[in-house]
Amino acid sequence: MSLIEHDEWTKNSIRLRYLFPEMEDCYMKECQMNKLWYLSQISIFEEMTSEEMKEIDLLNTIRHFNWVPKDALVQTPDTILKSLSFVKEGKLKVYKLNDSGKQFTLGILTHGNMFGEINSFSCGTKNVYIEAMEPTLVCSISEAQFDRLMISRPRLALKFLKAVSERLKEREEQLEQIAFNGLRERVIHLLTMLSSKFGIIVDGYALIDLPLTHQEIANMLGVTREAVSGVMSGLVKDGVIKTSRKSVQVDVAMLIPGDT
In this predicted model, what pLDDT tens digit does every residue of 227-245 receive, in sequence order?
999 999 999 999 999 998 8
Three-state SS letters, the chain: CCECCCCHHHHHHHHHHHHCHHHHHHHHHHHHHHHHHHHHHCHHHCCCCHHHHHHHHHCCCCCEEEEECCCCEEECCCCCCCEEEEEEECCEEEEEECCCCCEEEEEEECCCCEEEEECCEECCCCCCEEEECCCEEEEEEEHHHHHHHHHHCHHHHHHHHHHHHHHHHHHHHHHHHHHHCCHHHHHHHHHHHHHHHHEEEECCEEEECCCCCHHHHHHHHCCCHHHHHHHHHHHHHCCCEEEECCEEEEEHHHCCCCCC
Per-residue model confidence as pLDDT tens digits over 81-138: 778 888 888 999 999 998 888 899 988 998 878 888 888 777 778 889 999 999 998 8
101-108 contacts, C-beta under 8 A, 24 or more apart: 103/219, 104/219, 104/220, 104/222, 105/216, 105/219, 105/220, 106/171, 107/167, 107/170, 108/133, 108/194, 108/197, 108/198, 108/210
Residue type, 99: D
Q: Could you count the other beta carbons within 10 Å of the beta carbon of residue 131?
A: 22
**224 to 179, 182, 212, 228: CA distances (angstroms):** 17, 14, 15, 7
Q: What is the pLDDT of residue 43?
A: 62
* Confidence at residue 218, expressed as pLDDT on a 0 to 100 scale: 93
Is pTM beyond 0.85? Reply is no
Rounded Cα gap, residues 128 and 70, in angstroms? 18
pLDDT of residue 15: 46
Q: State residue 39's pLDDT score.
A: 54
Query: What pLDDT is stored for residue 144 in this prediction?
Result: 82
pLDDT at 139: 83
